[in-house]
């Protein structure tokens, strides 16, 4: 088999390593649901990553107990979501200055084939100056792999 044939077989089998950045927005768990469906169909592995962004004026190991507790609850929920699909979800909490950079770094080190991220529909529009939209656009620009953006259907649809 040639290289082209091998690549076609890899695509036909689907993704093997998925990375899902999680936060407390509903779209984030919509993305996890989609990733779990893909993983269940293809026997893929999922890493759910929550990034605790530490402001630049604080040390990276600053005491952020409430934020850490909330992040760990998200990751527990991610594990339970994976269990409901029969998929093992590896969870990780990372401290960083910038969420997009942390996700890109993790995707690179894990060899992720796709990042599945949830984003409100409004953050996908260029005119929005919201910080989350900039973070999603930055992630798309810098990702070492494909990025699947999951957004809710519009009310009009």
Cα–Cα distance measured from residue 49 to residue 4, given in angstroms and rounded to the nearest whole number: 33
pLDDT at 137 (0 to 100): 86
pLDDT at 130 (0 to 100): 54
CB neighbour class for 94 (10 Å; exposed up to 12, middle 13-18, buried from 19): middle
- 16-66, pLDDT tens digit by residue? 899 999 998 889 999 999 999 999 988 899 999 999 999 999 999 999 999
Asked if 66 and 22 touch (Cβ cutoff 8 Å), the reply is no
Strand partners, 90: 47
Using a cut of 0.85, tell me whether the model's pTM lies above it: no
- 5-30, pLDDT tens digit by residue? 444 444 445 788 999 999 988 899 99
pLDDT at 151 (0 to 100): 85
pLDDT at 13 (0 to 100): 54
Alpha-helical (H) ranges within 43-119 are 65-85, 99-110
Superfamily designation of domain 13-150: HUPs (3.40.50.620)
Instruction: Examine the pLDDT at 157 and tell me if it is beyond 50.
Output: no
């Amino acid at each position: 088999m040639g290289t082209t044939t091998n690549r076609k077989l890899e695509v036909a089998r689907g993704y093997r390593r998925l990375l899902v950045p999680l936060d407390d927005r509903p779209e984030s768990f919509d993305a996890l649901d989609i990733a779990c469906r893909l993983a269940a169909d293809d026997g893929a592995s999922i890493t759910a990553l929550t990034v605790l962004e530490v402001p630049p004026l604080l040390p990276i190991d600053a005491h952020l107990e409430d934020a850490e507790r909330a992040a760990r609850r998200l990751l527990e929920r991610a594990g339970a979501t994976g269990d409901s699909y029969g998929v093992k979800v590896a969870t990780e909490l990372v401290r960083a200055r910038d969420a997009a950079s942390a996700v890109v770094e993790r995707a690179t080190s894990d060899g992720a084939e796709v990042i599945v991220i949830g984003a409100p529909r409004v953050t996908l529009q260029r005119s929005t100056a919201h910080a989350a939209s900039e973070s999603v656009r930055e992630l798309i620009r810098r990702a070492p792999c494909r990025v699947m953006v999951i957004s809710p259907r519009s009310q009009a649809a």
